[in-house]
Amino acid sequence: MTGIMTAAPIHRAAGRFLLDPAGAVFWPDRRALIVADLHLEKASSIAARGGLLPPYDSRATLDRLALLLRRYAPERVIALGDSFHDEAGRARLPAEEASLLARMEAAHRFLWIEGNHDAGTGLAEHAEAGAVFRHVAGPVAAGQVEFSGHFHPKARIATRAASVARPCFVADAHRVLLPAFGAYAGGLEVTSPPIRALFPRGGQVFLLGRERVYAFPLAHAGKAA
């Protein structure tokens, strides 16, 4: 995160939200930073099953989160599940990373939502002021806006020069689907049926750029410019 970062504002019934190009949402009215799918200690989890990944994902993810905490100075962090790659992920954090996370938690109140990877480590969901926070998208009541993760959305745009694939937000009037924040999280194309099913009437894609997000209709994802 270098240079001047420009977040994209969106307005929903619950208020104004800023979609940050780092892949997080800031809720100014509630001084809350919203992130999804950190997948801390994914590399060590895979290593335990014989896979090989460089063991630096947790540090990279926490360093990116620390930059956002300095940028927005939130009172709270709402983490939308799969914050750890498995239920024992927190216990496996190396000492330096564990200390860094502890300092973050001391300075900012963390609200941990549980995901399918880290079931039993947090709340099933959380609702306040017209917003509901979950790991996996579900039914949304009238007048609510839902924030969820799980699908790690990414979009591919074919231009005349090249095809570009990047993590992204997907949003309509009732839902905001967040990209995965974790360094090793991967992604699912927004053209895939599970994501399309959440937005039957269409929506907006907010593609993450280096210093800003780029908005275009969901229907244009994967099509030539």
Q: Which amino acid is at 214?
A: Y
DSSP state of 55: T
Whether 167 is covered by a domain: the verdict is yes
Whether 160 is covered by a domain: the verdict is yes
Whether 3 is covered by a domain: the verdict is no
Whether 225 is covered by a domain: the verdict is no
pTM: 0.94
Whether 191 is covered by a domain: the verdict is yes
Please, which residues have CB within 8 angstroms of residue 49's CB and are 6 or more apart in sequence? none
Count of domains observed in the chain: 1
Whether 1 is covered by a domain: the verdict is no
Reduce the DSSP state of residue 161 to 3 states and report it.
Answer: coil
Whether 29 is covered by a domain: the verdict is yes
Looking at residue 46, which CATH number applies to its domain?
3.60.21
Q: What is the pLDDT along the chain (225 residues), one digit of tens a residue?
A: 446 789 999 999 889 999 999 999 999 999 999 999 999 999 888 877 776 677 889 999 999 999 999 999 999 999 999 999 999 999 999 999 999 999 999 999 999 999 999 998 999 999 999 999 999 999 999 999 999 999 999 998 776 777 788 999 999 999 999 999 999 998 999 999 999 999 999 999 999 998 999 999 999 887 654
Sort strands 131-134 and 163-171 into parallel, antiparallel or unpaired: unpaired
Structural domain boundaries, residue 39: 8-220
β-sheet bridge partners, residue 17: 10
Reduce the DSSP state of residue 35 to 3 states and report it.
Answer: strand
Cα gap 109→75, rounded to integer Å? 6
Whether 32 is covered by a domain: the verdict is yes
Sign of CA dihedral 21, 22, 24, 25: negative
